[in-house]
Amino acid sequence: MQPACQIKRRVLSKGCASPAGRRLFVGVQRRRTLFGFGHLAQRAPHTARILVVDDEEDILLAAKLLLKRHFASVETLRDPARLPELVRRNSFDVLLLDMNFAAGAERGTEGLALLSQVIALDAQAVVVLITAHGDVTLAVEAMKRGAADFVTKPWENQRLLATLIAASNLRKSRLEASEFRARSRGLAEATRIDGEMVGTSPAMLRVFQMIRRAAPSGANVLILGENGTGKELVAREIHRHSKRAQEAFLRVDLGTLSSHLFESELFGHRRGAFTDAKQDRIGLLRAASGGTLFLDEMGNVPLHLQGKLLTALERREVTPVGAERPEPIDVRLICATNLAPERLADENVFRQDLLYRINTVEIALPPLRERQEDIPLLLEHFIAIYSEKYNVPPKRLSATALEGLMAHPWTGNVRALRHAIERAVILSEGEMLESADFSLAASGAAPGSTAAAAPVPESARLDAVERDAIVRALEAHGRNISRAAESLGLTRASLYRRMQKHGL
């Protein structure tokens, strides 16, 4: 094999076999002065693995000399018949693929056939086509069939580099999105039994009917209801019965996103976009593409951030922080909030144009106190689940305990009921669950208790005071978590932990 320096001298002295190859090679030698992208060469090589497929040796040589300075791995292939085998055995981030291989070929049928084979072997493959000036229309057709982009011969080095870097970022985004979807499906399967919706009351039957009608439509859905009523369960049921059921279901708690991370978490960012952006990150809106995006705590998003979200939803595209070009999104949108309808109608709280965008279908979940006839069924359901989960003999509920549980206010709704049952199943010693097995002292006497109350421990009294303060703060601020936390002198995260502790 000839040393690289001899190859360079031979090509420069005798000239490349094709004018395009000669121009490209000279461009590599003069990249700093002619094209002004010397700053790219000074960076660490991009981690992407590139495969260049072309039947002209000079094109392959010029491409490799250029790209090896900017990418961790650059391989070339002159025989297109070997491409499927290489793709099957290796994981390339970007394929730079010529469209014509046979002598005099101009129709691009070989390139289209290879493109189809590659995508069939790797659904996440990112292919950039190489085409002559007259093949632009054909290249656009190929992009409709799955190609990511195209460059024309003779290419400009700086544009080729930018195209391949963007393509490698797309490959990374696709792989991350695929991983998100796999995790989402696993989580949905793991929580499906525990998260089953139960109820026979007229109010819940209306909810089930709305779910059946809305799910296959693909329309945006807004779910209203107090904390603990099961808004996420409704969202998952809609997704499970939709045409996107096999794709990702991603939940985003908008109330926990800080202002400075809002765009990064939802839209993604590019490496170096801000101080802690050490690598590219796909946003949740992109990760959910093809599936369902559940935006929880929608009412707690500040007004100035509501506008950014509205723009993304209207245009169905997002621009990652630090990126120059927008990226398309394709999501089924389901939103939820605990704000009352009159609060949502207040322009100072929620943008009305955003409200119109998200509530094509509106589902209102009733609080547990308005469907008490469902409590016995819920008790039976959760007792069966937690008896199996904690590997204990099936428990039964005494009549006295049932009477007390039916009379309890359940301000924390189904979530609080579920936690009470779980605790009772774990701590009870006998097969029968009695009133004493339920710790509901924060709201009064234990369920079903008719005897004189025993002295309440200091810790229980403090818990009751804390719970009462949280309830009053939430009510005073229309259940806006951010404002309630501020009035209590707590962070949002601290308030969430205390709400969970008290079943709120």
**Among candidate residues 125, 142, 171, the one where a domain is terminated:** 171
What is the CATH classification number for the domain harbouring 32? 3.40.50.2300
pLDDT value at residue 38: 39
Asked if the model's pLDDT at residue 238 lies above 90, the reply is yes
The mean pLDDT value for 101-106 works out to 66
- Examine residue 181 and state whether it is found in any structural domain, yes or no: no
| 240 & 362 share domain | yes
Decide: helix, strand or coil at residue 37: coil
Q: Give the confidence band of 460 by pLDDT, cuts at 50, 70, 90.
A: low
**Of the ranges 447-451, 455-459, 479-483, which one carries the lowest mean pLDDT score?**
447-451
The mean pLDDT value for 227-246 works out to 92
Say if residues 416 and 369 touch (Cβ distance below 8 Å).
Answer: no
**Mean pLDDT, rounded, of the chain:** 79
Number of domains the chain is built from: 3
**Among candidate residues 171, 200, 222, the one where a domain is terminated:** 171
| 152 & 196 share domain | no
- Examine residue 183 and state whether it is found in any structural domain, yes or no: no
| 360 & 460 share domain | no
| 300 & 379 share domain | no
pLDDT value at residue 12: 37
What is the CATH classification number for the domain harbouring 425? 1.10.8.60
- Examine residue 184 and state whether it is found in any structural domain, yes or no: no
Q: Which residues of 404-429 are buried (b: 16+ CB within 10 A; e: fewer)?
A: bbeebebbbbbbbbbbbbbebbeebe
pLDDT value at residue 207: 95
pLDDT value at residue 463: 67
| 152 & 246 share domain | no
| 246 & 288 share domain | yes
Q: Tens of pLDDT along 27-55? A: 444 333 333 333 444 455 678 889 999 88
pLDDT value at residue 45: 63
**Among candidate residues 141, 171, 201, the one where a domain is terminated:** 171
Could you list the residue range(s) of the whole structural domain that residue 8 is in?
4-171
| 403 & 342 share domain | no
| 227 & 293 share domain | yes
pLDDT value at residue 296: 92
| 234 & 373 share domain | no
What is the CATH classification number for the domain harbouring 310? 3.40.50.300
Is 470 exposed, middle or buried (CB count within 10 Å of its CB: 0-12, 13-18, 19+)?
Answer: buried
| 358 & 405 share domain | no
pLDDT value at residue 104: 59
- Examine residue 392 and state whether it is found in any structural domain, yes or no: yes
- Examine residue 176 and state whether it is found in any structural domain, yes or no: no
pLDDT value at residue 243: 93
Q: Which residues of 341-362 are buried (b: 16+ CB within 10 A; e: fewer)?
A: eebbeeeebbbeebbebbbebb
User: pLDDT: is 370 or 450 the higher one?
Assistant: 370
| 91 & 218 share domain | no
| 319 & 432 share domain | no
DSSP 321: B
- Examine residue 132 and state whether it is found in any structural domain, yes or no: yes
Q: Tens of pLDDT along 129-144? A: 887 755 667 777 777 7
Say if residues 447 and 421 touch (Cβ distance below 8 Å).
Answer: no
- Examine residue 411 and state whether it is found in any structural domain, yes or no: yes
pLDDT value at residue 258: 75
